[in-house]
A and B are shown apart, each in its own frame.
Chain A
């Protein structure tokens, strides 16, 4: 039953040479001989600046963030990114997932201040004008809520990859290395942790180890070339590449340097990982290596037998993806997927595998590896190690069942 990659490639290539063999395509064009000239070629299109800030085509109106299920409030809430509709690795700004603990504050940039104090030589207040004068860097990184896929610890019943994996986005971020700003204020010798605090009604606070603060942490004011969106922390946020998303505190107003962590509510009551033995991991920061197939998906899957390209995304909070394997038989045999360049540290990597579907039922899985020697575990081994109640940091292999009619469902549901 196992299909070698060579066989898959060969059959895929053969079908591609065969050209437009899809019956639906043929039927759609039947009777249209010779091909008619579309109306769009007989008149002028829309003028420039309609609108001034461009929007997606009206035919893409279903490509939106969604809530997974209603919550008690709509400000302590989250929305998920439509991964099933995205190509490449960049998440458009309007589709970046949201996780707010007290809604989206409206902050005028000329009123905003960032205070840096605590165990520093020179406590400072920085305005946005000040921050924009610092030497800047631009990096492409994913951002993942550590609660992403949390429903998969138990049987979620979700079939949409937006719902299972959509607390995940990837942007180009621009800002100032936190190390530069800490250099500006001067750290005292016993500086070990940095408290980051937001200017929202949650006054969101997390303790960040000084090693991370001095490594690749950024004070970010722009994403994908424009200033941050309000729901992403406008006008300025912390960004900790590869760490659980909650720590990249939005609407950043204060950094306090200390000699120990603060044990805030969000690093004790929440964002800790309760194990089966009743103990909980605290300060588990890195997002583990993970991947998910985004095509086929519950909205758009295989129809007739023939050639398709299985596609998905892989990422690691510890480094870069080195390898992604794909199985179509529930993990019995694996085929190496191709990785789309660029393959960057702590960044989404797009993978693809040509596939010739013969109409048989499938279970499609993907398994990612990173350059630090980590690989994606199975769901059963993760649960064997931690039980079903950690809530956070679920990174197991995801399976999708494809039925003979092409319908796609969550293999664990």
Chain B
């Protein structure tokens, strides 16, 4: 009984203490300033949020691709080295027994290509391409997939408007979908 009231008192004390410290906030950590956040804030969304200023042409992209990308992904994105991603082609294969899932056939958003190339490519040296270089490579890969014309100069405004061929290809999680995934009788 005594232990119980002691712990109740302690809980009250703690509650009172934390209430004094502003709605149970612990006050740990250091405020992050906008200038600090800018250094790490690299994500890009389909609505264009996060795309940096800059521009890049298909022509520039072709040169950068040849130097930085072709060794793994193949000269035109069609014939990658073994085990690396094919970037081009595969349209019309998704509903076949052997789907070819590429940027052109599968990826729903062009902005994702910018985000991913910028954060994780080129594989041996991620985050070394400038924004202009990333726009160029993105323009070139989209061109190889017949999504933008050869004379494209890609910018943030243009990229967020690009409509990908498989943009409508994704649906919400459909589970339970298989016949016997949910138990009906004798389940415990």
Contacts and interface: CB of A to CB of B under 8 A. Distances in A.
Contact of A115 (B40, B43, B82, B179): B40
A322 interface: yes
B40 A374 contact: no
B32 A268 contact: no
B120 A201 contact: yes
Interface in B129-188: 169-183, 187-188
B112 interface: yes
Contacts of A378: 180
A277 B170 contact: no
Contact of B45 (A253, A263, A276, A389): A263
Contacts of B44: 262
Interface stretch (A9-17, A213-221, A281-289, A300-308): A281-289
Given A268-B112, A285-B173, A381 B178 contact: yes
Interface string B11-38: 0000000000000111011111100110
A375 B37 CA distance: 45
A277 B174 CA distance: 13
B81 interface: yes
Contact of B178 (A125, A274, A283, A386): A386
B22 to A, nearest CB: 10
A272 B83 CA distance: 19
A112 to B, nearest CB: 13
Interface string A363-395: 000000100011101100110111011000100
A260 B45 contact: yes
B65 interface: no
Nearest to A254: B40
A117 B32 contact: yes
Interface string B84-120: 1000000000110101010100111101100110011
Interface string A70-88: 0111001000000000000
Interface residues of B, number: 60
Given A115-B32, A123-B32, A322 B188 contact: yes
A205 interface: yes
A377 B106 contact: no
Contacts of A18: none
B32 A281 contact: no
B54 interface: no
B173 A283 contact: yes
Most B CB contacts (10 A, CB to CB) among A130, A280, A288 go to A280
Most B CB contacts (10 A, CB to CB) among A72, A130, A283, A288 go to A72
A227 interface: no
A183 interface: yes
Given A274-B94, A282-B170, A389-B99, A124 B112 contact: no
A197 B171 contact: no
A256 B41 contact: yes
Contacts of B187: 322-323, 369, 373, 375
B112 A384 contact: no
Contacts of B126: 102, 201-203
Interface string A287-317: 0100000000000000000000000000000
Contacts of B169: 278-280
Contacts of A205: 43, 115, 119
A261 B72 CA distance: 30
A5 interface: no
B29 A130 contact: yes
A130 B41 contact: no
B172 A269 contact: no
B127 interface: yes
B170 A279 contact: yes
Chain A interface size range = 35 or more
A123 B37 contact: yes
Contacts of A389: 97, 99
A133 interface: yes
A323 B119 CA distance: 44
Nearest to B183: A375
Contact of A281 (B29, B120, B173): B173
A265 B108 CA distance: 10
Given A384-B178, A384-B179, A280 B170 contact: yes
B25 A382 contact: no
A362 interface: no
A126 interface: yes
Contacts of A71: 83
B181 to A, nearest CB: 5
Contacts of B108: 263, 268
A253 B37 CA distance: 12
A264 B116 CA distance: 7
A68 interface: no
B42 interface: yes
A122 interface: yes
A281 B180 contact: no
B95 A278 contact: yes
10 nearest CB pairs, A to B: A72-B83, A278-B95, A284-B173, A278-B94, A203-B119, A265-B116, A123-B32, A385-B178, A124-B29, A282-B170
7 contacts: A72-B72, A130-B29, A197-B40, A260-B45, A265-B120, A277-B95, A288-B175
Given A130-B30, A203-B42, A281-B173, 15 more contacts: A117-B32, A117-B37, A127-B29, A202-B119, A203-B127, A205-B115, A263-B109, A265-B112, A269-B103, A280-B170, A374-B181, A375-B182, A377-B179, A381-B178, A384-B178
